[in-house]
Amino acid sequence: AQSVAQPEDQVNVAEGNPLTVKCTYSVSGNPYLFWYVQYPNRGLQFLLKYITGDNLVKGSYGFEAEFNKSQTSFHLKKPSALVSDSALYFCAVRVPILTGGGNKLTFGTGTQLKVEL
Amino acid sequence: DTAVSQTPKYLVTQMGNDKSIKCEQNLGHDTMYWYKQDSKKFLKIMFSYNNKELIINETVPNRFSPKSPDKAHLNLHINSLELGDSAVYFCASSPGQGSIAQPYEQYFGPGTRLTVT
């Protein structure tokens, strides 16, 4: 069965420093991977996705993610963190459609990012 | 204009009651979803409809019954509410189910916080 793991419940970083939020996956076949962000009392917002091709995917708000097949990872990164980036970040994997999953996403447990001055 | 909207935003009710949550999307999408986010922020899919047809039905108690009157609306009715049903329920939509090569990102509503007392 497909799954994603986010090993850190919380990541703290100083504003202006680079940030990394980790995600590893387990899936049969080619993985389709996503990052979403959830601000307090809001729904999830799509940041970026990996389908195929370039391992470095650029997304919204200056975020990017690096797909690493050998390490089965899809870490979210940003060169310079902002206080406004503080939120809950979810990694997700799309179930292979051949198994009848439609567009079903399996989410990780979330990582709370806290950016401080 | 709100892309995916849900009503109500907050719902407080007693055990044993029946309640409904409504969802509407104005994105012209074919596929809609219901997710449950528990108190630990874990997010799990419950149902998905594509063009009013149920395509994903996770292991959810049959007290939960989704209904899609048209492809822009997906409602969730819950019978005999239990304490464990307390959670935030998110509706989402995507252009379609996607294909083997094209997974679609999902657009989330703001959530409905259900509290069962």
Task: Give the bridge partners for A22, in sequence order.
Answer: none
A101 at interface of B, judged by CB pairs closer than 8 A: yes
Other Cβ atoms within 10 Å of A75 Cβ, number: 17
As a whole number of angstroms, the distance between CA A47 and CA B16 comes to: 39
Q: Chain A residues with CB inside 8 Å of B41's CB?
A: 38, 88, 109-110
What is the separation, in whole angstroms, between the first and last Cα of chain A? 41
> Closest Cα partner for B91 from B37, B17, B51, B41?
B37
Rounded mean pLDDT, A65-87: 96
> Closest Cα partner for B46 from B62, B34, B55?
B34
pLDDT per residue of chain B (117 residues) written in tens, 0 to 9: 669 999 999 999 999 999 999 999 999 999 999 999 999 999 999 999 988 888 888 888 999 999 999 999 999 999 999 999 999 999 999 998 777 667 889 999 999 999 999
**Mind listing the pLDDT tens digit for each residue in A17-50?**
999 999 999 987 778 999 999 998 889 999 999 9
Q: Chain B residues with CB inside 8 Å of A90's CB?
A: 43
A43 at interface of B, judged by CB pairs closer than 8 A: yes
